[in-house]
Structure 1
Amino acid sequence: MRKKLTPLLEWGTLLITTGLVCFFLVVILWDLVSKGASSLSWNFVSSLPTQGMTSGGILPAITGTVLLTMITALVAAPFGVSCAIYLNEYAADNWLTRLIRASIRNLAGVPSIIYGLFGLALFVQGLQMGTSLLSAGLTLGLLSLPYIIITTEEALRRIPASTREAALAVGATQFESIRDVVVPSAMPGMLTGLVLTLSRAAGETAPILFTGVAFYINNPSGYLNQEFMALPYHLYMLSTQHQAIEAVRPLAYGTALVLLIVVFLLNLTAFYIRYKYSKNE
């Protein structure tokens, strides 16, 4: 009897928890769409804020978020992937390697605001970059680095050892087997982890709060050595710090909806990449 009830209880618990998560997700999405859809227009996403941010658009915030995400990817992706390949393919299984892996996992659990303070001390003050787009991008790159290492290493571990042995058996060197066999086979998981990590970084507020984000910049192009606007910080300011909160509340919901769409597109890209590579295998 107990053997029959256990699967039913597990299945029922899974259905209930999944249903609760989906319910609250639908409630949140409905709230954002119902209150923010009226603000969405081409003018809203292609023009500058005007009249003390009580009207106009969010083009500088969108541009800043895109540039920030690109810098984060350029900083974190090469180092993260290289580190994961070394740890999984070259490093010996000893106490030093295990200590490094434990440290990386601990870094993944550090609150994002700590990275913001570290970026302030290292990039803004220590390297004298000032509050700028580059300082914020480097800070987010450090924040994203542990996640990319972990996801990439997990993708590499999924490749059977027999695949490596087969490549070595036909005369390939270890580097050639990694480059031509292992990495292409692990590419779906690696790219998925990278895109999901970048989508998380695009929504961070605390790390950029100390390193370069500004309340208002009348310049949508952005420069690496200047302050910038970003969607998550813009949303925070409109929702909590603006002197006319009620007047800008529809704009805040519209900004939240745009940020949600950006994150959704990044996640959709990750699923598409996984599907495309899985189909080609």
Structure 2
Amino acid sequence: MKIGILGSGHIGKTLALKLAATGHDVKVANSRGPDTIDAAALSTGARAVRKEEVVNDVEVLILSIPFAAIPALTPLLGDLPVETVVIDTSNYIPARDDRIEAIENGKTDSVWVTEQLGRPIAKAWNSIYSVTLQEMGRPGGHPDRIAAPIAADRARDREVTMALVEETGFDAFDTGPIAESWRQQCGSPPYCTEITLAELPEALAAADLARSRRRTDLAFQVYGERFTLGQNPGRDFIVQLSRLLNAP
């Protein structure tokens, strides 16, 4: 498939590497220009392009940018064909993004995103820690393969997104429409806890939105005592903290 990735941070870089390695035609862009994209992100065949080019002639566009930056994408995506699959990997994190009133009042993160962009999206890879995404992909059927929830409203978006998640080394699980994607947001039982496909349905069912919000704030208080914003701790620290705080 022809895939564009907007964002070259930890998640975007890893997706570029993984998806290009499986044979997809991948191009990646960021807000600073192609010369600033780490050459390592291109080592399996992805191409660095300008952000205006990343949306041209693609079947799939993956958004891997900070949540608060999403509204600014509206002009860039204005001419994107309606059938293009747009996958959002971001999370609303008040400690980083500032608080958004509609979301604080109960609106699902990804519903807010669809309203900002004026188009359907799928939600995927957001519940997997970036280091987990980089290190823990496993072949299908592997006993240690981690599950990744996905949400989408359109059948085509769901089908394509689940296939791509599988290709990155994780068991894709359909959580239903975007309105239900709050079950895989920050602070929920599946978030950064590295659970299996067998464990995922129960974790999703146990999600509580108000509790997830509180757990997100608490997690970033702990994080802020040890690290600077944007610093990626080791996988063990994040997974252990998430399991402790996010368990039902």
Shared fold (TM-score greater than 0.5)?
no
Report which of the two has the higher share of strand.
Answer: 2
- Between structure 1 and structure 2, the one with the greater Rg is 1
Higher relative contact order (CA 8 A, sep 6+): 1
User: Shorter-chain-normalised TM-score: which range?
Assistant: under 0.3
Q: TM-score when scaled to structure 1?
A: 0.22
